[in-house]
Amino acid sequence: MRREHHARLPRMCFAPARKPSACLPSALAAVWIAGMLVVLAAVPAGAGSDAFRKETKRTVRAHEKARAHVDRLRAENAGATEVRSAERRRKAIRAGLWDALWSVARDAGDPVAVDPSGRAGRCPAARARARSRAPEGRDAVWTAPIHRYRLSAGYAARGSRWAHRHTGQDFAVPSGTPVYAVGPGTVRATTCGDGFGNQVIVRHPDGYFTQYAHLSRIDVRKGGRVAAGQRLGLAGATGNTTGPHLHFEVRITPYMGSAVSPLPWLRRKSVQVGG
Ligand SMILES: [Zn+2]
> What is the Å distance from ligand 1's center to 196 Cα?
9
Active site residue 245: yes
Where in the chain are all domains bearing CATH 2.70.70.10? 114-268
Q: What is the pLDDT of residue 19?
A: 37
Q: What is the pLDDT of residue 132?
A: 76
Active-site residue identified among 63, 166, 214, 245: 245
Q: What is the pLDDT of residue 207?
A: 95
Give the pLDDT of the chain (275 residues) as one tens digit per residue: 333 333 222 222 223 333 343 445 566 666 767 777 766 766 655 556 888 989 999 999 999 999 999 999 999 999 999 999 999 999 999 999 999 999 999 999 999 999 999 877 778 777 655 577 777 766 568 999 999 888 988 898 887 666 678 899 999 999 999 999 999 999 999 999 899 999 999 999 999 999 999 999 999 999 999 999 999 999 999 999 989 999 999 999 999 999 999 999 999 999 998 85
Q: What is the pLDDT of residue 137?
A: 65
> What is the Å distance from ligand 1's center to 169 Cα?
6
Q: What is the pLDDT of residue 62?
A: 97
Q: Which of 269, 51, 263 is nearest to 157 (CA)?
A: 263
> What is the Å distance from ligand 1's center to 242 Cα?
10
Q: What is the pLDDT of residue 22?
A: 40
* Long-range contact set of residues 120-126: C-beta below 8 Å, sequence gap at least 24: 121/221, 121/222, 123/190, 123/191, 123/192, 123/193, 123/198, 123/218, 124/192, 125/192, 125/198, 125/215, 125/216, 125/217, 125/218, 125/233, 125/236, 125/238, 126/190, 126/192, 126/198, 126/217, 126/218, 126/221
Place domain 114-268 in its CATH homologous superfamily: Glucose Permease (Domain IIA) (2.70.70.10)
Q: What is the pLDDT of residue 35?
A: 72
> What is the Å distance from ligand 1's center to 132 Cα?
24
Global pTM reads 0.84
> What is the Å distance from ligand 1's center to 109 Cα?
20
> What is the Å distance from ligand 1's center to 165 Cα?
10
Q: What is the pLDDT of residue 187?
A: 96
